[in-house]
Amino acid sequence: MKHFGRKAALAAAGLMIAAMTGCAGVPANTVHTADDLTGKTIACQLGTTGYIFAGDIEGATVEGYNKGADAVQALLQGKADAVIIDSEPANVFVSKNAGLQILDDPFAVEEYAIAYKKGNSELGDKIDKALDELKADGTLDEIVSHWVGDTADSVSYTPDPDVERTGKLIMATNAEFPPYESKSGDAVVGIDPDMMQAVCDKLGMELVIEDMAFDSIIAAVDSGKADVGVAGMSVTEERLKNVDFSQGYATTTQVIIVRAD
C-alpha cells in the first residue's frame, strides 16, 4: 500500500548557489573529458565515492568539502577545475546554475545500498525482505518518481497509519545530497527517507532520522549510535571492513561537473 502526502520544498535555501561564471579571475574550463582530469584540482564531498575515486587520478589535487554544495561553489569561484559527484545531485546543482555543465562521459557507475552493523544479519535479512517487497509492488519506483524526472513533484511518502509499530529504527544520513536527502525546514526529505519510511512500514518500526556529516555515518552505525546508514552510499571494500550492506536499491553514475564552455 502506497502513501504519499506532504509537499516538500526541494529548492531549499541550502541548494541555491549563485552562479559566478564570467566573474573576473575565474579561469576558462579546461576539462572536456575524464582524461583531462589528470593534474587538475578536483572538488568532492568528503567521504563519498567521488572523493575516493578522485584520489586515483594521476597528479590530481583533491579538495574535500563537508557539503556537495560547497564543492560546487569552489568550482564556480575557480578554486577547482571540476567536481565529481553522483548524477542526480549533479542535475540539481546544474539546474540552479547556468554557468555549469555535466560532461557527457560518465566517470563511474555504482549501486546504493543500506549500511547496518557488521554481523547483524537479522536486521539485514529483514531489510532485504522489505526491499524485495517494495520493488515487487512498485512502491520503490513510485517513491523515486516523485523526486527524479520531468514529472517529479517532491511529494513525500506518508507512513501507513494502520501499521502497529514496536521500537525505533535510527537512520544516520547526511541531508546535503538531493534528491536522495535534503532539508525542507527541519525535516529531512527525499528518496532515502521515503524509502526507509516504507521499509519501516514493513518492519513495524518508527523511523528516526539523524542528520550528520557524511564521513561520520559509518562510525555511527559501527558504534551502534545508528541502526542503519542511508545516504546515497555505495558498497566499497573499505566500508565493508566496518559495516555490512543490504541488497542494492538504486544504480547511479558518478559524473563530472565543470564550468560551462
Give DSSP secondary structure letters for 134-195.
Answer: HHHTTHHHHHHHTTSSTT---EEEPPPTT----SEEEEEE-S-BTTTBEEETTEEESHHHHH
Average pLDDT over residues 115-131: 98
Give the domain extent around 22.
13-109
Residue 95 domain flag: yes
- Binned at pLDDT 50, 70 and 90, residue 24 comes out as low
- Confidence (pLDDT) at 146: 95
Residues 146 and 198 both lie in one domain = yes
**Considering only 53-57, 116-120, 135-139, which range has the smallest mean pLDDT?**
53-57
Residue 67 domain flag: yes
Residues 122 and 240 both lie in one domain = yes
Residues 24 and 135 both lie in one domain = no
Q: How many CB atoms lie within 10 A of CB 127?
A: 26
- In terms of Cβ atoms closer than 10 Å to its own Cβ (0-12, 13-18, 19+), residue 51 is buried
Residues 117 and 230 both lie in one domain = yes
Residues 34 and 59 both lie in one domain = yes
What percent of the chain stands above pLDDT 90? Answer: 76
- Binned at pLDDT 50, 70 and 90, residue 10 comes out as very low
Strand 206-211 and strand 168-173: pairing? parallel
pLDDT tens readout for residues 81-110: 999 999 989 999 999 888 999 999 888 888
Contacts of 244 (CB under 8 A, 6+ apart): 115, 116, 117, 118, 119, 120, 121, 124
Q: What rounded mean pLDDT belongs to the chain?
A: 90
The SS3 assignment for 43 reads strand
- In terms of Cβ atoms closer than 10 Å to its own Cβ (0-12, 13-18, 19+), residue 145 is middle
Three cell numbers, residue 169: 529504527
Nearest alpha carbon to residue 131 among 144, 114, 152: 114
Residues 117 and 211 both lie in one domain = yes
Residues 197 and 105 both lie in one domain = no
pTM (two decimals)? 0.76
Residue 6 domain flag: no
Q: How many domains does the chain have?
A: 2
Question: What CATH number does residue 212 fall under?
Answer: 3.40.190.10
Tell which wins on pLDDT, 150 or 81. 81
Alpha-carbon gap, residue 130 to 63, rounded angstroms: 38
